[in-house]
A and B are shown apart, each in its own frame.
Chain A
Amino acid sequence: MAGILIYSDQDPLSFELLTAARYIAENTGAAVKAVSINNHAQAEALAGRGAESYRIDGKEIILEDTAAVARALKGAVETLDTDVVLLSANRRGKELAGRLAQMLDAGCLSDVNALAVRSGRIECTRNALGGATVAVQTVTSKRKVIALSAKVFAAAPDGVGHISDLTLDVKGSGIKLMESRAKAEEAAHIETAAVLVVVGQGLENRKDLAIVKRIADSLKGEVACSKPVATDKKWLAEDRIIGLSGKICKPDLAILLGVSGQVQFMVGIRDAKTIVAINRDENACIMQNADYIMTADLQDVLPELSRALTGTVPS
C-alpha cells in the first residue's frame, strides 16, 4: 500500500488522525504523512508528535474555500504518493471529503465511528438507515477517503518528527470570506455529562421542566431532550437534542422521561451505561431498550421522584 495522508483543520482532531493512520500503517506497512495548510503551528505540533509533517502554503487556499483545500490535498496525494486520506468528520472535514473523493476518483466513507484493519482491508463502521442499523463498509477503489469521527482514536503521544515544505500551485474557486464570528458559548454540554435526564414528547406540561431540572440537579446531571421537544415545542434549546441530528452521548446514566425510543433518538443514547425509562405506555419501544423500566404517568411520578431524590416538596 502506498502512503496514508492525514489532514484536519483542527489540531486535536489531527492528532487523533495520526494515531488512526499509524494503526492502519502497522497493519499494512504504509507510510504516514501529515499535511497542514497555511498553519505552521499545526505542522510543528504534528512533528512534535512524531509525524512526517508537510506545510502547504498558498494565498488562495483559504479554509472557507472547500474546493481550494481539496485541490491542495489532491496535490499532496499525488506528490507524496498516498492512497488513503484520513480526514476529520467535523463539518469542514465532511464537506471536504466528498469534493476530494470526486477529484481522486475515490470511494469515501464519512462519520466513521470505528475502524479496523482485517485481511488488509480497512473496515469502517458507521450508522446507516437513519441510525436503525450499523453498517460495516470498506472502500474498494484504489484511492480511499475516510472521514473519522472525533474520539475514535486517542491523540498521538509526543515524539520526534520532521517538517518539510510542499510547494503546490493551487487556485481558489472564487469564495470570498466576508465575516467570521465565534458562536455564543453553548450553555449545555450534554455530550460530556455523566448523567442525563432526558425529556421526550410524553412530557405534557412545560412547567414540569422545572421539576425535571431539579431531578437532574440532584443527580449532578444535565437536562437533554428528544428532537421535537426542542424543534417543535421549543421548550429547550437545540443544543440539548440527543439523536442522529443532535448529539451522540455516552453518559453513565440516562433517565428517559416520556421518550418513545425511535431509532433516530436511540442512536444518540444507546451507548449509555445504564438507561432508566419512565413511560406511560408499557409497549413503547424504549421499554425494550432500557435497564430499568417504570410504567407510570409522568404527572404523578415527577413530583414524587423529585421529593424522593431531594427530600423536599417541589413548589
Chain B
Amino acid sequence: MNIVVAMKQIPDLQQIRIRNRCPVLDDVPLTLGKIDKNALEAGLKIRENAGNKGRVIVVSAGNRDIEETVKEALAAGADEACIVVDEAASDLESSISAILLAAAIKRIGVADIILFGEGSGDNYSGQVGARVAEILDLPQVGYAGNVETTGRTARITRVLEDREEIVEVELPVVVCILADINEPRIPSVSQILKAGKKHKEIIEIDDLTMETSGRRIETISNLAPETARKREPVNTCGALCAVLEKEGFWAR
C-alpha cells in the first residue's frame, strides 16, 4: 500500500514579526505545517497498522528551499519525497498548488491513500485536498479523526462540529486529517542524518506539461489588524476590582 502525504512549506509562524502593520518574512525560517505533520503521523500509523507494508511518500510544491525543508518529513519516517520545484512561486494559491501536487501524485503512480492536513498552517484555506481529489477523480473525506484500513477498504471517522460519522470507501481515497489528532514523532539524531540519503524525486515546473491557467485570487491588502488598546497599568487587585466595577463587570 502506498500512502502519499501532501505537505506545505510555510514560514515559521512563531517568528513572523509585524512592522508598520506589515508582516516581515525576511529571515523567517521555512518549515512544514503543523497540521501536515499530523497528517504524516497518521500516514505512518496507517502503515504500521497494515503490517508495515508499503511506502509513505511525501509530496510538496514550492521554491528551491523545499528540497531542504522536506528532510524534516523524511527524518520523521517518510520513505521518499516527490517534490515540484517552482522557483517563481513564493506564495502559491490553492488552485495552483492542487495542480502541481496532483501532477506529483500522478508521477508516483500508485497512491492508495492520499493524506492532507485539514488546512495549511499559514493560509488555512482547506481547499487543496478537495481540489486534488477532484483532479484525480477520487472520493474524499475531510476532518478525519481516525483512519483504518482492511484490505482495500478504508474506514474513516469524520468529525463535524456537533457529530461524528463513520464512512467506508474503497481505496484509493483522499483524506484530510483533523489538526491535533496525534502527537507527531520526533526524529532521532540518526534518523535526521539518514534523511539526507533518502530518495527525493525532483520535478522542475518546466518539465510539467500542464496548464496552471493563472491566478484566481487577488489580494487587495494584507495587514496586521490595528490594535487600539488603552494599555493602562493597574498595580493592585483593589485597583483592578475598581476598574471592573467602573466598567460594569462586577458589583461590590
Contact = CB atoms under 8 A, between A and B. Distances in A.
Given A219-B244, A245-B179, A263-B16, A130 B234 contact: no
Given A90-B160, A132-B23, A309-B250, 4 more contacts: A134-B224, A183-B162, A291-B230, A292-B233
B161 A91 contact: yes
Interface stretch (A16-24, A60-68, A76-84): A60-68
Nearest to A267: B225
A210 B237 CA distance: 18
A195 B249 CA distance: 8
A133 interface: yes
A90 to B, nearest CB: 6
| Secondary structure call for the B interface | mixed
Interface residues of A, number: 81
A294 B227 CA distance: 18
B146 interface: no
A253 B176 CA distance: 36
Interface string A73-95: 00000000000000000111011
A133 B123 CA distance: 10
**Top 6 closest A-B pairs, CB basis?**
A107-B216, A98-B130, A98-B127, A95-B142, A102-B134, A173-B139
Contacts of A132: 13, 16, 18, 23, 224
A307 B240 CA distance: 12
A107 B237 contact: no
Interface stretch (B48-56, B104-112, B166-174): B166-174
Nearest to A185: B162
A237 B120 CA distance: 24
Nearest to A272: B229
A293 interface: yes
B219 A275 contact: no
B215 interface: yes
B141 interface: yes
A138 interface: yes
A179 B14 CA distance: 39
Contacts of A280: none
A111 B56 CA distance: 31
A179 B224 contact: no
B21 to A, nearest CB: 8
Interface stretch (A27-35, A41-49, A121-129): A121-129
Contacts of A175: 139, 141, 167-169
A135 B35 CA distance: 21
B163 A270 contact: no
